[in-house]
Amino acid sequence: MSLPRCALLWARLPAGRQAGHGAAVCSALRAHTGPFPRALGRVPAIACASSSASGGSKAPNTSLFVPLTVKPQGPSSDGDVGAELTRPLDKNEVKKILDKFYKRKEIQKLSADYGLDARLFHQAFISFRNYIMQSHSLDVDIHIILNDICFSAAHVDDLFPFFLRHAKQIFPVLECKDDLRKISDLRIPPNWYPEARAIHRKIIFHSGPTNSGKTYHAIQKYLSAKSGVYCGPLKLLAHEIFEKSNAAGVPCDLVTGEERVTVDPDGKQAAHVACTVEMCSVTTPYEVAVIDEIQMIKDPARGWAWTRALLGLCAEEIHLCGESAAIDLVTELMYTTGEDVEVRTYKRLTPISVLDHALESLDNLRPGDCVVCFSKNDIYSVSRQIEIRGLESAVIYGSLPPGTKLAQAKKFNDPDDPCKILVATDAIGMGLNLSIRRIIFYSLMKPSINEKGEKEIEPITTSQALQIAGRAGRFSSKFKEGEVTTMNREDLSLLKEILNRPVDPIKAAGLHPTAEQIEMFAYHLPDTTLSNLIDIFVDFSQVDGQYFVCNMDDFKFSAELIQHIPLSLRVRYVFCTAPINKKQPFVCSSLLQFARQYSRNEPLTFSWLRRYIKWPLLPPKNIKDLMDLEAVHDVLDLYLWLSYRFLDMFPDASLVRDLQKELDGIIQDGVHNITKLIKISETHKLLNLQNLSAESQSRLSGAAKSQSKRGRGPRAMGSKAAEPLGPDAEEKSLASRLVQQGLLTADMLKQLEREWMTQQTEQETGTSLKGTRRKKKEPDSD
C-alpha cells in the first residue's frame, strides 16, 4: 500500500475508528519509514528481557554524565504527517499521559535496569517532556503511539522505547557503556609493553637511606655498560648525570621535557641518555637502565611515570634506587612479569643524630646550618631575621629556576664565601649536593595534596623527614656527621617520634590514561568536553589491587582553561599535559594565549614572545618583582616544552633558551640580594599603610564614631567588627599579610581606599537626606 493511499484511507476513517486502527497504520508505514522502536507492551512482560542491560560491573558515578541538549522539532517541510494520519494531539492530554508515565514505579525500575538512576531518569524525563510539548511536529511513530494512548488503544508503558531512545540521545554514555569499560580497563598493565615482555630483564633494587651510596653503585653500572638510560625525578638530577657521564668519557645525551642536548656535533644519538622519568623511551633497547627514587611510584600525580618506566623499559638490567618501603610492591609487580628482584641493601655512610635541644632562637645559628621551611613566607621571614643579625644566607625554594638553585648551592658550599647559612624548602630533599652540618626544621607542618586532589596541612611523613634530615653530614661534604633538630622546643618530641616510626610500605603504583585511550573515549562521546571525558574515564576505569589511577586535577584545570578554543583532540591533550603552575595567573594566561595562537595557525616566533613578556625585563626591586620574573621563567619553560611537540608552531627554541639563561641571571642577582628585596618590600608596605592611615584618619574617625553610636544593643558586635578600620587596629596587620602573600599591591591598597572613601561619602550623603527617618538599628550600608 502506498503512503499517499494509506494516508487517504486513514483520513476517511471515522474518528472513533481511527484509534483502533493505529496498529494497522503503523505496519503500513514501516515499509516507508523503517522500523519503529520495539513496542514493549506492559512493563512486567519486558522486565526480564532488560535484566542483561544492567551488566555486572560497578555502577558508574552518574553525576559525571552531563546531559546534551536535544532541540524540539520545528515545522517540517513535509507537514505534520502524524497529524494527517491520525489527528492533531491535544497537548493537555499529552501532558497528563507523560505525567502518568513519569510516576509509574515500573517505568522507574525499568529505567534503572537500563542505567538510568533516579537522577538521570528525572533529567531525561524533563528533556523528553519538553521535546514533546515544544515540538511543532513529532516523528510519525511517537505521534501515533500518543494518539493510541489517548484513545486507550495503547498503554502508557508503550512510550518507554521512545523515552529510552531520547535518554540515550542526551546521555550518549548509556549507549556505549560496555565499550567505554573495555577502553578504560587498566588491568594487567604489563601487557601494554610487548617489547619489554619479549626479553627477560634482570631487576636489581638498591635499597637504603639518603647518603648510603645506593645511587652511586647503580650509576657505576650505567657508566660501564655499552648503552644505558638514567631516569630521574628532576631536571637537576638528569643534568648532573649528563655532566658526570660526559666528564667520565662516556658520551651521553640529555632529554627533559624542555630540553634536548646531543653531544655529537652531527646530531647522532649517543648510546647513553640521561632523562627525566616522564621522557624515557620504552621502545629503545639498552643494556642498563637506572630508575632513581623508585618510591615515587606512589606519587598521587606523577607515580604513573615510574610505573611506566619499571614495566616498559627494554633493558637487560634495570637498577632501581630508593627506599626499602618500595621493595614489596616492586617484587609483586615483577612477579606478574615473571621477573625476579635482587635486593642490595646499603647503610648510611656517615652518622646522623637528633639533638636533645631545639634551636629556639636564630641567634644560635652556626656555619653549615640549614633552616627548612615549608612556605615562602617563612623563607622570607627567616632570611630577613638572619640578615638583621649580620649573617648572610643562601635561599633555595621550589619555584626558583634550576640555574638559580645551583648558584645558591654553590654559594653556600663555597668555603671562601661569607654565606654560611642556608634557608630552604624541602626542595633540597633531592637533586642538590649541599655541605650541611645541621638541619633545623622551622616547622613540621606541610601543605600537601591528597589522592583526591584536596589540599591538606598535616605533619610531614616519616619518609619526607628522613629524606630532608638525610641531607645533613653527607659523605662527600666537609661535615662527616649530621645533626637534626627543630626551631621550636615543642616540635622536637614530634620530630623524634616521626623519625622513629617505620616507613609505611608502598601498596600501589600509579597509572595514567594514554592519548589513544582518550581518543577512543571521544569517538564514543564526541560532544563531551575533555575534562568531562577524563572524569568519566577515571570513574569507568578498572585497576588491579596493586595500582591506582593518578590524580588528574592539573590536567582537568588546563582542559577547562582552553575548552573554548577550537583544537583537535590530540593537540588539546598535549596542551593539557604541559606542566604549569596553576597558582601563577600569568603562566595560566600564557597557556591560554599559546593555545589561541596555535588554533589560528599563527607561529609563536621569538619576536612575538619578546613582545608578549615585555622584554627586556628590569632587575627586581622587591619580592613581587622577583615572583613575576619567576613566572616569566616558567612561561619560557612552557614555550620550550611545547616547542618539542609542535616544532613548526614554536620554531625558535634555541633563541628562547638563550633568553631564558639571561633571565636566569637576572633572577640569580635578585635572589642573591633577597634580603634587600624583602627589606624594601617591608618598607614600601609600611609606608603605604601609614599613608593610608594619615590621609584618611580624620575622615575615618567620624565614620568610626557614628558606627559606635549606632552599635548599641544588638549591634554591639557590629561595632567591634568596625574597629579594625581605625589606624591603630588590626587593619595594618591584615593588609601586611595580604601584601606579603602577594594578594595585594600598593596600587591595589590605594584603589581600595579610594573606593571605600567614595562609598563612605555616598553613605553620609544618604544619611543626611534621610535624617531621622533612618532607624538606629538599621545595618550599615557598607
What pLDDT, in 10s, does the model give residues 680-738?
A: 887 765 333 334 333 333 333 333 333 333 333 333 333 333 333 333 333 345 666 56
Helices 303-312 and 327-337 pack at an angle, to 10 degrees, of 40
Distance (Å, rounded) from C-alpha 664 to C-alpha 667? Answer: 5
Q: Which three cell numbers stand for residue 735?
A: 593588609
Q: Which residues are CB-neighbours of 503 under 8 A, at least 6 positions away?
A: 323, 324, 325, 462, 463, 466
Domain chopping of the chain, boundaries: 62-170, 201-345, 352-500, 563-685
Helices (H), 549-643: 553-561, 569-577, 585-599, 606-613, 623-643
Least confident of 172-181, 256-265, 693-702: 693-702
> Tell me, what's the pLDDT at 742?
56
> Tell me, what's the pLDDT at 33?
39
- Domain made up of 563-685: CATH architecture: Up-down Bundle (1.20)
- Domain made up of 352-500: CATH architecture: 3-Layer(aba) Sandwich (3.40)
Sorting pLDDT into bands at 50, 70 and 90, what band is 37? very low
CA angle 257, 263, 266 (to 5 degrees): 105
The β-bridge partners of 254 are 261, 274
- DSSP letters, 213-247, are SHHHHHHHHHHHSSSEEEEESSHHHHHHHHHHHHH
Cβ proximity of 13 and 121 under 8 Å: no
Distance (Å, rounded) from C-alpha 297 to C-alpha 279? Answer: 15
- Assigned fold of 62-170: Rna Polymerase Sigma Factor; Chain: A (1.10.1740)
Q: Which residues are CB-neighbours of 135 under 8 A, at least 6 positions away?
A: 72, 73, 74
More confident residue, 256 or 742: 256
Global pTM reads 0.79
| Average pLDDT score over the chain | 83
pLDDT in tens, 326-372: 999 999 999 999 999 999 999 998 899 999 999 999 999 999 999 99
- Beta strand pairing call for 445-449 and 455-459: antiparallel
State the DSSP code for 20: G
Nearest in space to 627 (alpha carbons), one of 684, 589, 677 = 677
pLDDT in tens, 512-555: 998 999 999 999 999 999 999 999 999 999 999 999 999 999 99
- Domain made up of 201-345: CATH architecture: 3-Layer(aba) Sandwich (3.40)
Residue type, 317: E
Distance (Å, rounded) from C-alpha 222 to C-alpha 248? Answer: 12
- In the predicted model, is pLDDT for residue 511 greater than 60? yes
Q: Are 201-345 and 352-500 in the same CATH fold? A: yes
